[in-house]
Chains A and B, each alone.
Chain A
């Protein structure tokens, strides 16, 4: 089996220092909507300058290099045990090279491991087998703590918000989550919403949607409409970049549906900060491509 450690370090470097083009495009569009001279406009200008600098200097876009979340799709025959070891070795080296901040803290004894490795679950790695003729793909998302902290899960019905067990109710709780987040999730952000599932699967699904491109609307026309509506309505709240007030609070919304128990109706809202870091590497034979 190939040793992909070096290629994985490059994946981590790119993810931490080079924001994807589709996200930058949305941020530029957001800048154009804000009043020149306003705090919101200034914040977006700084954000765009920072993105450029980070790319040029190969330094982290954000000092919170986040929870590393890997999704690996491997063709039959690859060893997930070895891939996992290579990912962990790459993470340790990328931390030494200051592409990543040491971010794994033992929650019981309050000790930072110093190398971004912690127990079996940090970094988080999800493996999925694909057909033998498919390439190996490794996707990485870095999700910062500020935006992770403003994520929310609702169990419907929610009487306080008058939210019932239907898409109208989903809309209400999602808008509530945006209001509660204010600027703390580093607005303008992106919403990832999962409807259904149990508490665990629902939260995972609400993050998985962040691997999709910004302009990939839901295939389901009902959900695609709700995505657009939520983005528009969230922006009407005027929270704005950094919570300074302004027109851009949310850059986009992604929604997915899961099956649920008759008794449960969970809505999980994950918030992704503007530093929406995700990259993918594809391995076909000896060739390695990044996007």
Chain B
């Protein structure tokens, strides 16, 4: 078990390998489908003009993401009525939907880790090596358990995206995850997919 503090250095990232279990402590931010699309369109590929509080939010999240972590998560949040926000359930969402965006987002913000479930594809794996960053797998569905490692909600941006899609800035302690894609070109997901394909082909040949 490896204890890791956020922000994370590139050196620490290069020292991580597929299969290693980690516990993360520090400040991270949630971001999923709407956030990745918003980042790419407004600030990275610039296909739409910033509007409303876009620029203000961008400036606020940059220091959080510098050497930081994006968590693919749409939490259940209590205390919405009086803004006394508390995560009651906060497991990972499926990451592969961000495959078109992830590598660019990580490189733009100099982020060192992405947490999600299910793993990601070749574009993200190439990005892991270049940036460098790692893909950390949390246990899908283990939402009440993971919520216990979320100690405080520090801020929320773009709540108008909806509770699941907003950017929640959270302080975590001993957040559990496993490295499944590292900065050395290794992906557990690619290995399992390839091995299971061989078994499938054998099973379905007549």
Q: Is B62 an interface residue, CB under 8 A from the partner?
A: no
Q: Is B193 an interface residue, CB under 8 A from the partner?
A: yes
Asked if residues B141 and A175 are in contact (CB atoms below 8 Å), the reply is no
Which of A105, A145, A179, A245 has a CB less than 8 Å from the CB of B197?
Answer: A179
Output the nearest chain A residue to B193 by Cβ-Cβ distance.
A182
Which of A145, A162, A176 has a CB less than 8 Å from the CB of B200?
Answer: A176
Number of A-B contacts (CB under 8 A): 172
Asked if residues A146 and B118 are in contact (CB atoms below 8 Å), the reply is yes
Which of B77, B119, B146, B199 has a CB less than 8 Å from the CB of A236?
Answer: B199
Asked if residues A63 and B137 are in contact (CB atoms below 8 Å), the reply is no
Q: Is A102 an interface residue, CB under 8 A from the partner?
A: yes
Q: Which of A102, A233, A240 has the most chain B CB within a 10 Å cutoff? A: A102
> Which one of A6-14, A45-53, A126-134, A255-263 contacts B?
A45-53
A-contacting residues, B62-78, CB 8 Å: 73-78
> Which one of B51-59, B83-91, B128-136 contacts A?
B83-91
Asked if residues A146 and B140 are in contact (CB atoms below 8 Å), the reply is yes
Given known A60-B76, A146-B118, A184-B96, contact A53–B145 (CB-CB < 8 A): yes
Asked if residues B196 and A57 are in contact (CB atoms below 8 Å), the reply is no
CA distance A199 to B144 in the complex (A): 36
B141 to chain A, nearest CB (A): 4
**Main SS class of interface, B:** mixed
Asked if residues B143 and A50 are in contact (CB atoms below 8 Å), the reply is yes
Q: Is A98 an interface residue, CB under 8 A from the partner?
A: yes
> Which one of B9-17, B41-49, B107-115, B158-166 contacts A?
B158-166
Which of B78, B94, B176, B206 has a CB less than 8 Å from the CB of A184?
Answer: B94
CB<8 Å pairs between A and B, sample of 11? A39-B19, A47-B142, A53-B148, A60-B89, A61-B144, A64-B74, A101-B164, A149-B94, A162-B204, A176-B204, A183-B192
Q: Is A161 an interface residue, CB under 8 A from the partner?
A: yes
Q: Is A26 an interface residue, CB under 8 A from the partner?
A: no
Which of B34, B91, B162, B176 has a CB less than 8 Å from the CB of A63?
Answer: B91
Q: Is B139 an interface residue, CB under 8 A from the partner?
A: yes
Asked if residues B145 and A50 are in contact (CB atoms below 8 Å), the reply is yes
> What count of chain A residues pass the 8 Å CB interface test?
57
Q: Is A42 an interface residue, CB under 8 A from the partner?
A: yes
B168-206 CB mask vs A (1 if < 8 Å, else 0) is 000000001010100000001101110111011001111
Asked if residues B193 and A63 are in contact (CB atoms below 8 Å), the reply is no
Output the nearest chain A residue to B148 by Cβ-Cβ distance.
A53
Which of B142, B178, B197 has a CB less than 8 Å from the CB of A50?
Answer: B142
Asked if residues A238 and B195 are in contact (CB atoms below 8 Å), the reply is yes
- Contacts from A to B (Cβ < 8 Å): 39, 42-43, 46-47, 49-50, 53-54, 57, 59-65, 96, 98, 100-103, 105, 110-112, 114, 144-146, 149, 161-163, 171-172, 175-176, 179, 182-184, 186, 233, 236-240, 242-245, 273-275
CA distance A183 to B192 in the complex (A): 9
Q: Is B93 an interface residue, CB under 8 A from the partner?
A: yes
Which of A96, A144, A183, A233 has a CB less than 8 Å from the CB of B203?
Answer: A233
Which of A63, A176, A242 has a CB less than 8 Å from the CB of B143?
Answer: A63
Asked if residues B144 and A46 are in contact (CB atoms below 8 Å), the reply is no
Asked if residues B89 and A59 are in contact (CB atoms below 8 Å), the reply is yes
Given known A63-B74, A101-B163, A242-B139, contact A57–B200 (CB-CB < 8 A): no
CA distance A244 to B19 in the complex (A): 9
Q: Which of B140, B161, B189, B204 has the most chain A CB within a 10 Å cutoff? A: B140
Asked if residues B94 and A146 are in contact (CB atoms below 8 Å), the reply is yes
Which of A49, A101, A163 has a CB less than 8 Å from the CB of B76?
Answer: A101
Output the nearest chain A residue to B142 by Cβ-Cβ distance.
A50
**Within 8 Å CB of B176, what residues of A?**
46
CA distance A183 to B139 in the complex (A): 11
Q: Is B21 an interface residue, CB under 8 A from the partner?
A: yes
Q: Is B147 an interface residue, CB under 8 A from the partner?
A: yes
